[in-house]
Chain A
Amino acid sequence: MVQDVARRTELLRGTLDLCLLAVMEEGPAYGYEMTKRLRAGGLSIVSEGSIYPLLGRLEREGLVETYRAASNGGPPRKYYRPSEEGRRALEAGVSEWRAARDAIDTVLGNVSLGVKP
């Protein structure tokens, strides 16, 4: 079980920035909102402890733009959205991911799982 989580974490590590850019592409979001979107998509192991440092890096590299706006009844929040460069990085990253995923699927597709009902 612990090993499963560790593997999932490792698999996610190289693609979390793409995932963040993708959920921002759905619409500008602040940190916690992005966490909720990722979890709704099935990435339940992602926490703000992971995404805030990554958002900081995306901001530093100019891949996201930020602005402050009032949230629903709460204090002003820092919203993130992909910059033009971020969108290009997202497209390139998604292409790379799909190519890698297809290659890995080809290799792992030959494995027959002996799972008994």
Chain B
Amino acid sequence: MPDPAANEMAADLEADLEEAESEGVSAEEVLGNGAFDPRSFAGSWAKERGLVQSAPTLPAPAAPPPAEHRPRQPRTLSLVLAFAVLAVVGAVLLIIGSRQALAVVGPVMGKPVPASPGFPFRPPGTIVQPGAAVQFVGPDPLHTAGSLLLLIGVVGMITMLVLWSWRRLRPPVAAA
């Protein structure tokens, strides 16, 4: 702001306040809110006179970044962990269910199924004694649920990890 204009404004204000004081009127009554925020008062006055482009203002507190730019690592990590837990639970259920679904029985009680290498659902490493019969007792609900949970868990984990990597490699979007 040019000095002559600033001096003129200060002189006007000083004269007004002196007159008000002589009449028993306080500076707060004369200036209103301007008495409590002299910087803003002087700024708006100078701006309206066309002396400055804009009134000075206190810096605004930094706004939180837009939702799409906020770091999502904690949320992504939580989701990966949740899917991992799901996968582990699914795996446990699958193992338990597989053991129940495949029964090795000694003496043949029902129609025996030969323990041939092509026998389906035979877990690796299962040793079937010669002469013993293996009986398939049907799909166990635990086996089905375990398979489903394991599938969801693994797919979820992979998806979240891919998304997380993509977000990390993606160039930042310039603010408008």
Contacts and interface: CB of A to CB of B under 8 A. Distances in A.
Looking at chain A's contact residues, the main secondary structure is: helix
A78 B49 contact: no
A30 B19 CA distance: 11
A47 B31 contact: yes
Contacts of B44: 53
A53 B47 contact: yes
A8 B139 CA distance: 79
A109 B33 CA distance: 34
A72 to B, nearest CB: 9
B8 interface: yes
Q: Could you say which of A30, A32, A48, A50 has the most chain B C-beta atoms within 10 Å of its C-beta?
A: A48
Nearest to A57: B48
Given A32-B20, A59-B49, A60-B49, A78 B33 contact: no
A48 B18 contact: no
A78 B11 CA distance: 9
B41 A57 contact: no
Interface of B: 8-9, 11-13, 15-16, 18-20, 29-35, 41, 44-50
Given A75-B11, A78-B8, A78-B12, A53 B48 contact: yes
Contacts of B13: 31, 48, 52
Interface of A: 30-32, 35, 45-50, 52-57, 59-60, 71, 74-75, 77-78
Nearest to A52: B45
Contacts of B47: 53, 56
A49 B34 CA distance: 5
Contacts of A74: 15, 18-19
A50 B37 CA distance: 12
Nearest to B37: A49
B30 A32 contact: yes
Nearest to B11: A75
Given A53-B45, A60-B50, A75 B15 contact: yes
B33 A49 contact: yes
Given A32-B16, A74-B19, A78-B12, A47 B49 contact: no
10 contacts: A30-B15, A30-B16, A32-B15, A46-B32, A47-B33, A48-B16, A49-B31, A53-B41, A53-B47, A56-B50
Most chain A CB inside 10 Å of its own CB: which residue of B16, B33, B46, B50? B16
A43 B134 CA distance: 101
